[in-house]
Structure 1
Amino acid sequence: MSEPDTLALLRTFSLTGDDIVEVSVPAGPLAVVMDRTNEREAVIESFAKLPNGQSGALELHPDVQPGAVLVSINHKDVSGLNMKQISDILRQQKDKPKVLGWRVQKPLSPIKPVESRKPVEPAPLVKENSQTSTPVPERRASNGTEFITETIVVLCPPGPLGLLLDARITTRAVVQGFQKLPDGSEGVLEMHENIHPGATLVAINGEDVSSLPLEGVTRRLGELASTERTLEFSLPRRRANSQDYDLRRKEEFTFLKKNDSTKLERGECWLIIDAKWIERWVMYAAMHGPPPGPINNEVLVQEGWQERMAGTAPGDPDLPREGLKLGVDYRCVTPLIWCFFVALHGTCKLPPLTRYSMNIYANPISAREATKILKPQSLKAETTVTEIKQRCHQE
């Protein structure tokens, strides 16, 4: 799998309606100017001319106007990506014709940064598509020493955050430490190389909460516990171990490129993974986003799977929800890739979703047979992960 194939790992864009317009554009410049003040999505600010002086395909389209939001590239969903991540994908695709999907019915106003924090350029020690912003001077001590504040944006999956806030500081939400998730794994915030005690939670899904008391922030987090959340933290200083994580990302992505396959070896089966988790992993490994957290396949099965797994309710624990689509809601990987992901990032308590075909509604494989298939690949994955951690000093 080549580098531009990161787009292929994203979910298929499934939204339709009068507010979605798809435009086929030729290879070369798009001839648009994007709103650089909006870091959360790709919004057209104005149009430019092509090198030959003519208007581009987007400007010529009657429905695409300034304020249109880019939501898909080649029918892949990019609506959850930020401006830098989308720009990286467009850069990979610049020499190819492509189909771009835009939300146009109600153009979104550019999202302005919170007044108390002005937009800044990426930090020089972090690669350009990281979600870590450059530290900016906050105040200067009498001896001339500058104190800096750095902001970190982290996309968190639904469910517990594993975050402990300092109850002694009631005027704002300050990180005190972390706790393990219910399945015993580390949460996304604990795994992030830059979030550490002393960081302050300043924004939730773009909403400024820096002036809210601890009680208000905690209540807001509780209201959003079942959804994905974008959390922004303010840090007093930078930690210096991001290069280790850069290497680990490269190691993970290289392993996937080398070992990913659309065909099974004799006696193997497919392992099903939530498509949103795959998307978070792509952001982490290919675009320097935060760690994806444990695989959360419970979002793919019907409620009550714990009771069915315990035998207190009839049926299989991995009974899938209705209406799931391959490539949109779930992806299929080989046993080796599954074991590799689990060894590095963990998984929920739901047993692996195993099938002999790429269909979540096909008959499940027995736990005994699945264990037999996964055991040799698990040993290989554990050995590989140990070597990666040693090279990246992540033990």
Structure 2
Amino acid sequence: MLKIGSHVSFSDKGLLTAANEAVSYGSSSFMIYTGAPQNTRRKPIEDLYINEGKEVMKQSGIDEIVVHAPYIVNLGSYKEDTFELAVRFLQEEIRRTDKIGVRNIVLHPGAYTDKDAEYGIARIAEGLNEVLEGTKDTNVNIALETMAGKGTEIGRSFEEIASIIDKVRDNDRLTVCMDTCHMHDAGYDLTNDLDGVLQRFDQIVGLNRVAVVHVNDSKNPLGAAKDRHAPIGAGWLGHETIKNIVHHEALVGRPFILETPWIGKDSKSQRPMYEAEIALLRGNAMERFGDSFFDHVERLHHFFGKEEIDARTYVLGTWDVLKSDAKAKKADPREPMDRLYDLVAEHKVLPDLSEEAINQRITGWFAGKSLLVEA
């Protein structure tokens, strides 16, 4: 079974809260932060409802989850206090991850800020050596995440990831988290050369090190180095590319984790498309949503066909306008899914459905007419 899920909340009752949320999306894996990703405040391990959460996971057939280290950890910093905080706190997070029973903790490698890439790579390796040395009593691997290349972050190329690994002594505990948006934004053409990209990764780093895959579409064109995630199908990668990735034979068995943005007209009504994205990528949307879902998607195909709207042309054209025409963006800053929802609502195509339900069906429309044939 395809291991696929999303980032879920770890607040309130810790792992129990996270597991129940993941199950509500139809997940077979999920990812957590053990506290807020922006700070170092953490609850005691005994307050995380670990046994209760594991019981929900067992009942739902979820046997592998992932932890993500907080964003504030920067092993690439030349500032001693920032570097030491990163080392100490990452060691603590690894111990917490081990107690939860998770094998991989995903880490943004770090940024070199006022130095240079060579310095950043060496500094990150120095930090990882210290972190791994201090956590030998755990079974946790550190999964270095492929990055988009914004600012001075390291990990924007396979060569940088490999260079870090090569400089770490105990590198058997280093794995990799591929991020589809980041790789696309870093210039790797997953749409037209997926096999080639994976072969190149295998030659430089080794596909055997891939432990996790973050599954995100991108709001930016190939090589933009921006790192802005989009819902599946609503970005430059598109549903077909993402589907090819999660079903690629070279990545079989890895957990695929969605970090796609929540969408909606305002903050109170915003919802993730995780449930629909997971079902569509796994191929069990009929089981999850029933016949009516496909009837609604067919109505969208009919409506958008009459309007002469092609999904990929419309999505990419909208992003082009938003990126290149400041006046147009100021006049109408809505992103593709927002505009499509407004069209459906204005023309009362699916008048009895909620905003969330309509957006789920637009997500289904992104999957193309082959979805209707499969149904």
TM-score (norm 1): 0.27
Larger Rg: 1
TM-score (norm 2): 0.28
Higher strand proportion (structure 1 or 2):
1
Higher helix proportion (structure 1 or 2):
2
